[in-house]
Each structure stands twice: as structure tokens, then as C-alpha cells.
Structure 1
Amino acid sequence: MKGKILIFTFLTAIFGWSATAQKSFRVGYVDMEYILENVPQYQQASSQLDAKVQEWRKEVEEKKRAIEDMKNQLENERALLTKELIEEREEEIAYQEEQALDYQQKRFGPNGDYMIQKKQLIRPIQDQVFTAVQEISENRNLDMVFDRTANNGMIYADRQYDISDQVLRSINRAANRRQIDSREGRQALEAEENRTVEQDAKIAEENQEVQEKRNEREALLAERQRQRDSIKAAKQKELEARRAKIIEERQRRIDSIRAIRARKDTIN
């Protein structure tokens, strides 16, 4: 909905400008994802949320494993159980599956805890971005600023209109001012604030190179983990096949014993 409003506003402004052709129309944009990645407060809170997510996923997996164990136990004991006991076990398994699905939706559904806390995490940063955008727009005489990561239909934008670094700089300045209470710290902050946009851009480029190297390393680690998971899954599949074979052989022996007993009863 927000993206549609931006499109409508943008087109209205463009058409109005085209009709009058009396003044230049200045547009800027921000990259919200880039800003979030470089705000320390957001990264810290995001790490805490990621830790919670890992706990929730672990709980979901534990519930799934418990259900799988119940299913395997039922299959192993099915031949020795009455029809009523089998039905009772199956109903319990179905109930536990329903509970596990409800829990998963509660945590990761569209209205689950993850989405709610994610929105709560982003909202304060968005407020800071809007404040910074307003200030920068006034200083640079911009007519419109929008987010290139939103659903606004932007397929190209010249880098010169990107004010993400200025927004990020404004947010970090505000945060630093709140934290610094020493003379040396204030002097260092003043020196940082006196840097030009070009100097900031160079520093940002260097940080980007560091981030790219970090991403490459994380991708390599992820690929190694994927290979380990693949090997583990193959071993698990082989183990399950062996278990199924054992259960099948056990069932054949039980059927054979029952057949022998049935023949004896017939003879007697």
C-alpha cells in the first residue's frame, strides 16, 4: 500500500511538473536495506532477534522429532497392539501435529512473533530516517525522496541522487551526540562531521569492500555446512532404510509364527 501511494504521488508530481515546465524537479532516493545494515543499534537488536529465532526454530524441530519418534514407535509396535490402541495412538499423533503447526504459525506466521518483533525493530530506525530525510531534502532542495527497496516501480536511479550515506551519517551523528560526554569525544565527533561527502563515500567504499570479503567467507562457510548437511541427510536416509528393512523382517517373522500357530490349531 505504501509503495502504491509513493507511485501515485511520484507520477502526480511528474505530470504536474511536465505540464508547467516552470521549475526543475529534483528527486532523491534512499536504500533502506543499506542504512539498516550500517546502523549499530539495529544490528545489535537484530542479533538478539536472530538468537530468539534460533531458539524458536529449535523448539519447532524438537516438536517435529518428538512426533516422528511417536510414529516410529507406533509402527514398531503396531503388530502387537489392538485396533483400539492403534487408533488412540494415531489420534494423539494427529493432535501433536496440529499443536506443532499452531506453534510454528504463532512464531513464524504472517502475524507471528517474528514479524511483529521485526516491525518493532525497524520502526525506530524508520523514524530516524524520515527525520534525516526531511532535513537533507530541505538542505538540497529535493522535491521528492523515496526508498528504492520499496515496491515503488523504480527500475533505474542515478547514483548521484542516492542520499543513503547522508541519511546514515545524520543518524549516526545523532546517536554519537547522545553517547559522547567527554571533550576528546566531542572533538573527534566534530572532525568526523566536518568530513566531506566525498570522504564519507571513500570510507563507505572501503567498508563495502570489507563487507564483500565477509560475505564471501560466510558464503563459503554456508556451502561447507550445506555439504555436511547433505552427507548427514544421506546417512539418515540410509539409516531409515535399514530400520524399515528390520521392521519388515520382524513383521514377516511375526506373520510366519502366526501362520504356524494357525496350522497347529487347525490340526488339533
Structure 2
Amino acid sequence: MRVMKVFLPVLFGLALASSAEAQTVKIGYIDSQAILDQDPSARTAQQQFEASLATYQAEVQQMGADLQTLIEQYDQQQAMLSDEAKANREEEIRLKQTQYQQRISELEQQASVRQAELVEPVMERITAVIEEIRAEGSYSMIFDVAAQGIISADPALDLTAEVVRRLQAAFSPANSGNTGQG
């Protein structure tokens, strides 16, 4: 009983201390999609990716056109070809179709790798700015509203504009050569 008299006030004190500490938790949130839409380096990376993609698409379109021409020529000449010539042309078409499909797969992989190369430094910059804001503002947590984990939030907690402002300031014309890569 005597132990309980000593233990309960200590337990109550700890509960109050942890309750007071819990009240000092500072939370903010960002909208990563809005940040990506407004970050100049993200737009630059997207433009570079689209340029790479255009090159890949042009190659695929040319290969597709060549394959289509080969098929059309075969269709036009089929009646005049011997069985052996038909078999050879059909094999040539199958080979070209296989090469076409393989090249599409290769280009899709290259596009994926290129996108990752371009996105990584952008995401590192954004994460660094968010971490800087978190540390400066003594935020315990910063959530991403675009991740759809937040149902409702006080707009005063939204740090998106601050992240965008800092990213744009870092990407000003004087710093345009600075891509955030050391």
C-alpha cells in the first residue's frame, strides 16, 4: 500500500510530463505534386526526359514504318512469289517483328533508367529543403498530402509554398548552373 502511494504520484507525474511533451509536437504537411509542378529543376528534368523520349519514339516509329513497308511489299508481291520465296519473306518479316519488339523493350528500359537519373537529383534537392524546413521550424513530422494519408488539415500547417519558394530561390538565374548536384 505504501509503495502504491509513492508509485502513483510518480506515474501521474510521468503521464503529465509525457502529455506536456506530446503537446509540443509540431506537425506540418506539403503537397509533393504541387512542389514538383512548380520546381524549376523538376520542369527542366521533365523537359530533358521528354526530349530523350522523343528520340526513342522517333526510332520506334521508323522501325515500325520499315516493318509496315516490308509487310505491304510482301502482300503486293505474294501472288508472284514461289513457295520458297514466300517462306523466306515471311521469315524475314517475323525476324523484323521480333527485332522491333526487342528494341521497344530496350528503349522502354532506357527511358526508365533515364527518368530515374533525372528524377533522383530533383528528389534529393526537394528532400533536403523539406528537411531544412523541418529542422528550422522544429517540426516533428511533415506529411505529404499527395500521398493521400491526410484526410483534413489546417492550411496554416501547409509548408508547400515555403518549399517551392526555397527551391525557386535556389534555381534563380544567378544559380541556374546549380542543379543541386554537388
* Fold equivalence (TM over 0.5): yes
- Matched residues in 1 for 2:144 and 2:107: separation? 29
- Matched residues in 2 for 1:123 and 1:141: separation? 26
- Matched residues in 2 for 1:64 and 1:101: separation? 10
Q: Number of residues paired by the alignment?
A: 156
Deviation track 1:38-57 (CA, whole Å, cap 9, x = no partner) reads: 22233223212212211211
User: In structure 1, what residue type is equivalent to 2:162?
Assistant: Q
- Matched residues in 1 for 2:105 and 2:45: separation? 23
How high is the TM-score relative to the length of structure 1?
A: 0.52
1:148 Cα deviation after fit: 3.2
The answer for the alignment partner of 2:66 in structure 1 is: 66
Counterpart of 2:149 in 1: which secondary structure?
A: coil
- Matched residues in 1 for 2:112 and 2:146: separation? 18
What is the root-mean-square deviation of aligned Cα atoms in Å? 2.3
Matched, 1:169 2:165: yes
Percentage of matched positions with identical amino acids: 22
The answer for the alignment partner of 1:117 in structure 2 is: 114
- Matched residues in 1 for 2:38 and 2:145: separation? 17
The answer for the alignment partner of 1:221 in structure 2 is: none
For residues 1-268 of structure 1, the aligned pairs below 5 Å read 21-22=19-20, 23-24=22-23, 25-108=25-108, 112-150=109-147, 154=149, 156-158=151-153, 159-176=155-172, 179=175
Higher relative contact order (CA 8 A, sep 6+): 2
Counterpart of 2:146 in 1: which secondary structure?
A: coil
1:113 Cα deviation after fit: 1.6
Q: Is the 8 A contact 2:63 2:100 kept in 1?
A: yes
> Could you list the runs of 5+ residues in structure 2 that have no partner in the other structure?
1-17, 177-182
Deviation track 1:95-148 (CA, whole Å, cap 9, x = no partner) reads: 11111111111112xxx1211111121211211222211221123332112333
